Chain A
Amino acid sequence: MSNKSTQDRGGLPATRRALVAGAAATVASAALLRGARAQARTKLQFMYPVGVSGDINKLVAGMIAKFNAAHPTIEVEAVYAGNYDNTEQKVITALGVGEPPATWLPINSALQAFLGLDALADVTAKAKADDVYQDFIPGFLETCVSDGKLYGLPFQPSTPVLYLNRTAMKAAGIAKAPETWTELLDVAKALTIREKGELKRWGLTIGGGWHDWIFECYCRQNELVPWTKDKVLFDNPAALDALEFWVKMEQAGVMPKASTWEGSANDFMAGRTAMLYHSTGSLTNLRKSSSFEVDVAFMPKNKAFGACQGGGPIMIAKKQSDAAIEASWTFARWMTSTEVQSQWGRDTGYLAVRKSSWETPEMKAYLKEVPQAKVALDQSAYAGAFLQVPGYHKVREYLKSALDRTLAGEIKPDAALKEANAASNREIQRLLRRRG
C-alpha cells in the first residue's frame, strides 16, 4: 500500500506527502494486517443505500453475515453509502480512481450512466445458465436490460401507488378507490374540504421531488413511454395530455401546486391530504405511522394502466478479475434467491423479485395480514423501467422544473414540455457525443 502511494504521487507538491506520511504508515500497516487475515477468501465490497428505514442497515448486516458463513471462499463487506444519490456518487468517485466496489445497489435509472462509464459486467450468459429468465418477474428484470443484454439483478423494486385514507373515504361515503382519471378527479373533489374558503384537506397530493417519476406513470397510462435510450419524448401529445390533466386537477382546487417528498408523506399522516401518490417503499412507514386506516390502490388508468419502476438492482463491476466477477455473481444470485427475497420483501415492504418468492408459505401468510402489498405487485405487471437515458439526473431536473412552473401558472403546459424536451435532448446529445 505504501509502495503504491509512492508510485502514484506524480504531480503532488512534496510538502503534502511528508506531513501526513506518519498517519499514512499507520493506516497502511493496519491494511496489511487485515490482508493477512483473510488471504484465502475473495473479498468483495457491496455498497448499498438505505431507502426506507434505518433498520435496513441491520437487515443487510444480518444477510451479509449469513452469506459469509455459508460461503467460505467469499467475504463480503457491506458499506452503507447514504441514499440512492449518495450511493451513486460514492461508487462513481471510486470508479474514477479505478477502485470501484465489486457490487453495488443504485437506482435502476442509473443504468445508462454506468454503461457510459463502461463499468458494468454483462451477466447475460450467467443468467441464461441459471433460472433467472424463468423465475424473475419480467417487468423487474427489464430494468437491468440494455440492448438485449442483462447488467445486474433486480433486488428491491418499487413503483408509485395511490395511498388512500380509508377513514376519510368512509366518512365521505366513498366505497371504492378511483380506477380512472375521471374518477380520480371526482373522488378528489369529494374528499377536498374547505371551510369558509380556507382549505382544510386536499383530495390528492402528488409526492413532490419525485413527481417526474409519477408523471412518467401518467404518460404510460396514456400509452406513451416518454423516452428511448437516446432521447426523451416529453413533447409528445400523450405527455401534454397528462400534464393538462394535472393542471385541470390543480385548477379544480383538489391538489396543491407543489409539494416535497418528505412533506407530502407528513401531510398524508396528518390527514392534510386524503390521497397521495408515493412509493411502495413508503408502505410500511405510512401504515405504521398513520392514526387511521391506510389503503393502497393501483394508480388510476386513462387509456391503460401504467407504472414505472423505481428501486434498484445489484450491479457488478466489470473491471475486476474473473474470479471476483464470479464471486460477485454468486453474491448477487444469493441476495435474489427465493428465500432471501421473500424475507427481504416482508421485512422492508419492497417487492420480491421472484415469482417463487411470492409462493412461499411465509409470503402467503404476510399477504393475508397486509393485503395492500399485493396491489403493488399486481400493478408492476404494467410497469417498465424509469427514464433510462444518459444524464438522467439533469433530465429529471428539467422535467421537474417544467412541471412546477406549469402548475404554478408561470408557463403553458405545451411550452413547458417543449422547453424541457429540447433542453433534455441537448444534454443527452452532449453526453452521447462525448461517448463517441
Chain B
Amino acid sequence: MTSLRTEIASRPAIVALRRGWLHVVLVPLALLWLSPLVWILVTSLKARTEVFDPAAGFWPQVLRWENYPAALSVAPFGTYLVNSILVTGGILAAQLVTITLAAYAFARLTFPGKNLLFTLFLLQIMFPIYATFLTNFVTVRELGLLNSLPAMIVPFVASGYGTFMLRQAFRQVPTELADAARLDGCGHVGILWHVYLPLVKPTLIAFGIITVVTHWNDYMWPLLVTNSEAVRTLPIGLGLLAKSDSGADWTRLMAATVVVVSPLLVLFVVFQRRFVDSFMHAGLK
C-alpha cells in the first residue's frame, strides 16, 4: 500500500498531465454553471433602470450597495434568519437521530417484515407533499403548534430519504469490521457509534447539506402554518420581493437572494473539505 503510493507520487508528469486535462474540461463547465450567479450578483448592484436596458451594458454604472439594506428593510430579516437557523437545525438534528437508528436496523439486523417496513419508509418520498398539507395542517393545529417553530419541524422529523441513503452507505461497510468490534465486546450501539458512523461520515455530511438546503428554502408550508413575524423564516421575506403580481423587484430580489444563500454557501465550502476517504481515516489498511 505505502509503496504504491510512493510510486504514484514519484510520477509527477502523470499527475500534472491528469490535472491539466481535468482543468481544461472543468473550467469552461464551471464558468457556464456560474454564469447565472454572476448575473444575480451584478443585478443586485444595479439601478432598477439598468436591469433590462440593452444600452446599459452588462456592468452597473455605479455599484449600488444600498440595494442590500433596501431589500432587508421590507421585513425583519434578522428574526427570520434566527428562525431559519433554529428550524433547519432542529430538523437536521432530529433527522440525524431517526435515520441513523432506522438505517442501522435496515442495513444490519434481520427481522420479520423488513421489506414491508422499508417500503413504508419510502412512501414518504413517493407521496406528493402538497397532498399532505391539508391533513397535516389539521394535525399541527390539534397539537396546538400552529404559528410556532415546531410546526415547521415536526412533519420532517422522520426521513424516508435519509434512511434509504444511509442504509445504502451502511451496507457498504465491510462486515468484518463489525465482527471484529463485536469480538472486542462491543454491543450494537457501540458498533454503530464506533464503526459505522465514522465510516459513513461523507454520506452523513452529504445528507446534512441536502436536508439543510432543502428546508432552508421551504416556502409553502411555513407560509401556511405561521402568522406572526416572530416565527417566520427567510424564504417568506424573499417571497415579499418575488411573489408580486406586477413584475419582480429585480435588484432587491437578487440582493435578498444573495443574503439568503450566503450562509449556505459558507457552510458548503467548510463541510465539503470533510469529504475525505473513509477507509484511509478509519485506519483500515
Within 8 Å by CB, do A and B touch in the complex? yes
Q: Is the interface of A mostly helix, strand, loop or mixed?
A: helix
Most buried by A among B134, B144, B241: B144
User: What separation, in Å, do the CA atoms of A82 and B138 have in the docked complex?
Assistant: 20
Is B246 a contact partner of A290 (Cβ separation < 8 A)? no
Is A45 a contact partner of B247 (Cβ separation < 8 A)? no
> A268-286: which residues lie under 8 A (CB-CB) from chain B?
269-271, 278-279, 281-282, 284-286
Is A79 a contact partner of B247 (Cβ separation < 8 A)? no
User: What separation, in Å, do the CA atoms of A4 and B148 have in the docked complex?
Assistant: 17
Is A288 a contact partner of B142 (Cβ separation < 8 A)? no
A368 proximal to B (CB < 8 A):
no
Count of chain A residues with a beta carbon within 8 Å of a chain B beta carbon: 58
In the complex, which residues of chain B have a beta carbon less than 8 angstroms from the beta carbon of A284? Answer: 246
In the complex, which residues of chain B have a beta carbon less than 8 angstroms from the beta carbon of A65? Answer: none
Given A54-B74, A288-B49, A291-B55, A5–B246 Cβ distance below 8 Å? no
Is A20 a contact partner of B150 (Cβ separation < 8 A)? yes
Q: Which residue of A lies closest to B53 (CB)?
A: A291
B73 partner, pick from A58, A84, A291, beta carbons under 8 A: A58
Is B143 a contact partner of A57 (Cβ separation < 8 A)? no
Chain B 231-248 interface 0/1 with A at a Cβ cutoff of 8 Å (1 = within):
000001001110111111
User: What separation, in Å, do the CA atoms of A93 and B133 have in the docked complex?
Assistant: 10
Given A50-B243, A279-B245, A289-B48, A77–B227 Cβ distance below 8 Å? yes
A83 partner, pick from B49, B50, B55, B244, beta carbons under 8 A: B244
In the complex, which residues of chain A have a beta carbon less than 8 angstroms from the beta carbon of B236? Answer: 80
Given A9-B142, A20-B143, A90–B223 Cβ distance below 8 Å? yes
User: What separation, in Å, do the CA atoms of A53 and B245 have in the docked complex?
Assistant: 9
In the complex, which residues of chain A have a beta carbon less than 8 angstroms from the beta carbon of B54? Answer: 270-271
B249 proximal to A (CB < 8 A):
yes
B71 proximal to A (CB < 8 A):
yes
Is B246 a contact partner of A289 (Cβ separation < 8 A)? no
> B111-152: which residues lie under 8 A (CB-CB) from chain A?
134, 137-139, 141-145, 147-148, 150
Is A82 a contact partner of B144 (Cβ separation < 8 A)? no
Q: Which residue of B lies closest to A25 (CB)?
A: B144
User: What separation, in Å, do the CA atoms of A269 and B144 have in the docked complex?
Assistant: 48
Chain B 54-80 interface 0/1 with A at a Cβ cutoff of 8 Å (1 = within):
111000000000000001011100000
Q: Which residue of A lies closest to B138 (CB)?
A: A97
Question: Contact residues of A with B, CB < 8 Å?
Answer: 1-2, 4-5, 8-9, 12, 16-17, 20, 23-24, 26-28, 30, 45, 50-58, 77, 79-84, 86, 89-90, 93, 96-97, 99, 261-262, 265-266, 269-271, 278-279, 281-282, 284-286, 288-291
